[in-house]
Copies of this chain bind each other. A is one copy, B any other.
Amino acid sequence: MVVRAPTSAVLIIGNEILSGRTAESNLQHIAQQLAQRGIVLHQAQIVVDEREAIIAALESLRHTHDYVFTTGGLGPTHDDVTTAAVAACFERAVILNPRARAKLLAHYGEDKLTQARLKMAHLPEGVELIDNPVSAAPGFRIDNVFVLAGVPEIMRAMLAGCLSRIVGGPALQSRTVHCLVPESTVAAELERIAGQFPECDIGSYPWFRFGQYGLALVVRCSDRAQLDAAASAVLELAQNYDPLAQLAL
């Protein structure tokens, strides 16, 4: 029986990524975590901290994927507009969430729970909170959308909390064949193998370093028998051109 794997999209919110100031550093971690749980990450979008840009992206993603994960824009400053944009998408009011306020109160104490900090407890009505063990201000889930912080260590903690609560599919496993062969040399035969194993995703990733051509041929599949058979075929192909070609997990 083939179980359909859930699909997902990531929406990264932050001017700092698009200005070139900051290297995006959350996507690979999210992608790896989703893959381990058999959730297919089908696309990612990166948008500026502007309400309309966030709304447009979220509307395009949330109806076409089982899950959407957003990162960034949850803080106390004027450029943090994610919560307002998500609320607008779902036509919910933004209200002071008593449980979120309690978390901030426990973290900061009454005297340091300023108006600016209280902004982080103003959330769309009817959300489920996502714990933030680092700095208290929670993320939240609304329908199929998980709204996470952008600071990597906070995002990772929040994501771990989310993933423990959602149902994944059969985990994708991968095998990689490493060889020193130009990819055009194996292109035709690799296409034939890909045709023989339609359930496997076979990717070809060339590299050039110090005048040397190399190639990583990656087979991904949730069915272990198909995976091993396809990987063996790819390894045999690679060894025809590079006797030292190797298979790695």
Contact = CB atoms under 8 A, between A and B. Distances in A.
Given A79-B203, A115-B188, A117-B184, A17 B23 contact: no
Interface stretch (A85-93, A138-146, A205-213, A224-232): A205-213
A44 interface: yes
A153 interface: yes
Interface string A67-78: 000000001111
A183 interface: yes
Nearest to A21: B218
A18 to B, nearest CB: 5
B31 A42 contact: no
B117 A203 contact: no
A46 interface: yes
A88 B27 CA distance: 29
A185 interface: yes
A202 interface: yes
Interface stretch (A47-55, A95-103, A123-131): A47-55
A164 interface: no
A206 B45 contact: no
Q: How many copies does the complex hold?
A: 2
A240 B27 CA distance: 36
Given A18-B31, A42-B53, A185-B116, A208 B151 contact: yes
Contact of A187 (B20, B116, B188): B116
A32 interface: yes
B43 A43 contact: no
A197 to B, nearest CB: 12
Contacts of A30: 20
A227 to B, nearest CB: 14
Contacts of A184: 75-77, 114, 116-117, 119-120
Given A34-B20, A208-B153, A201 B75 contact: no
A191 B19 contact: no
Contact of A45 (B35, B43, B203): B43
Interface in A191-205: 191, 194, 201-205
B134 A208 contact: yes
Contacts of A32: 20
Q: Can you list the 4 inter-chain pairs with the closest CB atoms, starting with the nearest? A: A20-B31, A20-B32, A116-B187, A78-B191
A239 interface: no
A216 to B, nearest CB: 9
